Structure 1
Amino acid sequence: MGRTPSRLRSFGFPRPVRSLGCCCARRGGIAQRRVRFVAVRVLVAMSGGVDSSVAAAFLVEDGHEVTGATLKLWGGASDSGCCSVSDVEDARSVARQLGVPHHVFNMTSLFEQSVVSPYVAGHQRGQTPNPCIECNRHVKFAALLRRARRLGFDALATGHHARVVPGARGARLLRGADPSKDQSYVLSMLSSSELAQVLLPVGTMQKTEVRAVARRLGLRTADKADSQDVCFIHSATGRAGFLAGRAALHPGTLVDADSGAEVGTVPAVELVTVGQRRGLGLGLDGRRRFALAVDVDARRVTVGSESWARSRSLRLGDWSWVDGAPEVGARLLSQTSAHGRPVPAGFTGDGVRFDEPQRLVAPGQTVALYDPVDTDVVLGSGVAAAAVAPARG
């Protein structure tokens, strides 16, 4: 199975071998070439999933000096996510099969400080944070890149479905080749300098191809389901149970945006997400109402019809740019969720203005911004502050 040319070579790293389907000597199921070159030391973040397993396999195939690392992030109860005991065992088993060292890095304190605590605090302010993006930002890339450099590695590799390519002004982030698995949204906070140190070996592949390679190599992760949930939230108790164990939750009133009248109550205002329709207990009268704003201090959720739940403007903060902010007025594409549809907008300096009204974006959610011409290219991202509701009257 062929792959596009590796960016190892693009950034000056040697890449002497071809695909796993080539005709050559094999060791442990992985193709080997007898080519003289200087090996690069690569730290591979192995989550215990199929993508990072195959990423490690490709780098071993290429003859580089590979070390696997699995992060211990969460010490509490969990039955999902990407850092369970079984995930560590899967990663360790794959590393053993590939013949590479494997280590577990304990980053629980950093994870608590930079992901879990802000997640709780955000809900207490009426926000809906994205913990997986913050984990990528602070832990899986920033902290792990620092660790990799300190240990003498030349690059950090992960199994994300996205691509890094060289550009005239440095490394650029592109969407993954498989649209259904593209993860550029969750990497949109990475800078060009960080991207220059990152390898994404499976980003040019379809997910079916990744699994096919894993099956051919006999990796135990070949048919393992993709991680879907927040790793520190147990499915039995969910977000409500987790937050209730960390902070006080308060009942609140639902206030209609048109009339100003109280139209219902919710058991916990902290659990309401802007844009939410279901779970508000307001469907009995046949009217579709959406959460428009959450005021935790006032214990109030403002609700309204769909016309209220759309806006042309979105304020953003906590900007991250791959290679600097665009000029005010610049055209771009805005994507408000991991697999959302990118829509045209203009950059306002403190946010974006959509060409057409869009559904409200919950404060705390990340908005990824893409080039409007080369639509695979990530420009950067920001975190939603508040949407401007349409004026009445």
Structure 2
Amino acid sequence: MPTHTILDSALDSASLFDLPRPAADCRIVVAMSGGVDSSVVAALAASTGAEVIGITLQLYDYGAATGRKGACCAGDDISDARAVSDRLGIAHYVFDHESAFREEVVEQFADDYLAGRTPVPCIRCNMGPKFTDLLRMAKELDADCLATGHYVQRKIGAAGAEMHRAVDPARDQSYFLYATTDEQLDFIRYPLGGMPKAQVRELAEQAGLRNAAKPDSQDICFVPDGDYAKIVRSVRPEGGQPGAIVHAQTGEELGRHKGVIHYTVGQRRGLEIGGLPEPLYVVGLDAANAEVRVGPKAMLAVHSAQIIETNRIGPLPDTALTAKVRSLSKPVPIELDGPLGAGLATTIRFKQPEFGVAPGQAAVIYAGERVVGGGWIERTD
């Protein structure tokens, strides 16, 4: 079946890719993880009539180790991506990036935990092995654009390409993509940002893709069972050093723990220090002294945070700004104290105290629905 007829959709597929010339003269590279989202992007790209090439990066085959299907870029996912490409009649290539992924993402994840930080490895992956290397490959293939299955919108504003949150707030992935540069955004396309997930699955079924009903990944790809401590110990065995659980206000030792890698700031469960007059939360981690510091919820209130290695997407608007410090949190009003972008450090000040803000997380800044940029939280006040 010709690729331009396999997806009989009412969508104007060509407009989703914002191609610079007639589709028949264009080449689109699609990042294919083996999931339903990137597979639908490949089907939409093929339906434009452009030449389409699918690329899968083999990053971490955790599925083989755990026996669990659905781990990102594991053997089953590569097989699914290949099968979809065969169905669509497009070329498909797999590149081994396990060593780079381990060094830039997995080891950094472990080091952050050992330092008492709260890591966000999906952002590290997008900043490194995924976009940097995929962009290079796509340009070496003389592609007109690189398309991914992320749920964000790319819109053209007065100053050029802008990143906006997805129309489906439950699927929005803009928090993980704040480090996208202006140059990258000029070249990347996000065709699914204007669709709800239900529509994406309908398109997958319409195209006859074998992974149309494949479950979404709910975990970090290389920790599909949710046991972060196990991964950290495997990379950094010293991470299991036991120590004291100490009250941050009184200095009293309240209990013992089996390693700071089991805790993150804001955590309440798993402390095993009952019999106290009020609930206590992890308010700080002293990894050097193997100390977990706990206190009442009021101690989690943060008024400002310094962010480093900042990135800015497009011009900084002269309008009200908001920020998210966790992927599932709602943006809250802030003021920006200093420049943003070019790797500089700056400070964000919350209009109201924000809870659960911890070093290692990312702070992503918005102007309405537009993603302005963000940076890594270095410290909080």
TM-score, structure 2 as length reference: 0.89
Q: Contact 1:7–1:165 (CA<8 Å) still a contact in 2? A: no
Deviation at 1:341, TM superposition (A): 0.6
Name the residue aligned to 1:295.
286
Deviation at 1:51, TM superposition (A): 0.8
AA paired with 1:211?
R
Name the residue aligned to 1:156.
146
Equivalent residue of 1:81, what SS?
Answer: coil
Deviation at 1:5, TM superposition (A): 7.8
Please list every run of 5 or more consecutive structure 2 residues that lacks an aligned counterpart in the other structure. Answer: 1-8, 339-345
Name the residue aligned to 2:5.
none
Name the residue aligned to 2:107.
117
Name the residue aligned to 2:323.
334
Name the CA shift for 1:213/1:39 in 2 (closer, same or farther; >3 Å): same
Identity of aligned residues (%): 37
Cα distance in 2 between the residues matched to 1:385 and 1:307 = 21
Cα distance in 1 between the residues matched to 2:304 and 2:86 = 52
Q: Describe the superposition over 1:15-61 as per-residue Cα deviations: whole angstroms up to 9, x where unpaired.
A: xxxxxxxxxxxxxxxxxxxxxx5431111011111111111111111
Name the CA shift for 1:242/1:9 in 2 (closer, same or farther; >3 Å): closer
Name the residue aligned to 1:356.
352
Cα distance in 2 between the residues matched to 1:326 and 1:255 = 44
**Higher helix residue share:** 2
Q: Is residue 85 from structure 1 mapped to residue 78 from structure 2 by the alignment?
A: no
Q: Is residue 60 from structure 1 mapped to residue 46 from structure 2 by the alignment?
A: yes
Q: Contact 2:305–2:349 (CA<8 Å) still a contact in 1? A: yes
Q: Is residue 285 from structure 1 mapped to residue 258 from structure 2 by the alignment?
A: no
AA paired with 2:370?
V
Q: 2:94 aligns with which of 99, 104, 121?
A: 104
AA paired with 2:330?
R
Deviation at 1:326, TM superposition (A): 6.7
Cα distance in 1 between the residues matched to 2:204 and 2:24 = 27
TM-score, structure 1 as length reference: 0.87
Name the CA shift for 1:191/1:217 in 2 (closer, same or farther; >3 Å): same
Deviation at 1:270, TM superposition (A): 2.7
Cα distance in 2 between the residues matched to 1:379 and 1:126 = 28
Name the CA shift for 1:11/1:57 in 2 (closer, same or farther; >3 Å): closer
AA paired with 1:345?
I
Deviation at 1:159, TM superposition (A): 0.7
Q: Where in structure 2 are the equivalents of 1:184-195 lying within 5 Å?
A: 184-195=174-185
Please list every run of 5 or more consecutive structure 1 residues that lacks an aligned counterpart in the other structure. Answer: 15-36, 389-393
Cα distance in 1 between the residues matched to 2:106 and 2:186 = 28
Q: Contact 1:128–1:365 (CA<8 Å) still a contact in 2? A: yes
Equivalent residue of 1:202, what SS?
Answer: coil
Q: Describe the superposition over 1:200-219 as per-residue Cα deviations: whole angstroms up to 9, x where unpaired.
A: 11111110000011112221
RMSD: 2.0
Cα distance in 1 between the residues matched to 2:302 and 2:192 = 37
Q: Is residue 345 from structure 1 mapped to residue 334 from structure 2 by the alignment?
A: yes
Deviation at 1:271, TM superposition (A): 2.6
Deviation at 1:383, TM superposition (A): 0.9
User: Would you say how many aligned residue pairs link Structure 1 and Structure 2?
Assistant: 360
AA paired with 1:346?
E
Q: Contact 2:362–2:375 (CA<8 Å) still a contact in 1? A: yes
AA paired with 1:336?
V
Deviation at 1:70, TM superposition (A): 1.0
Equivalent residue of 2:33, what SS?
Answer: coil
Name the residue aligned to 1:377.
370
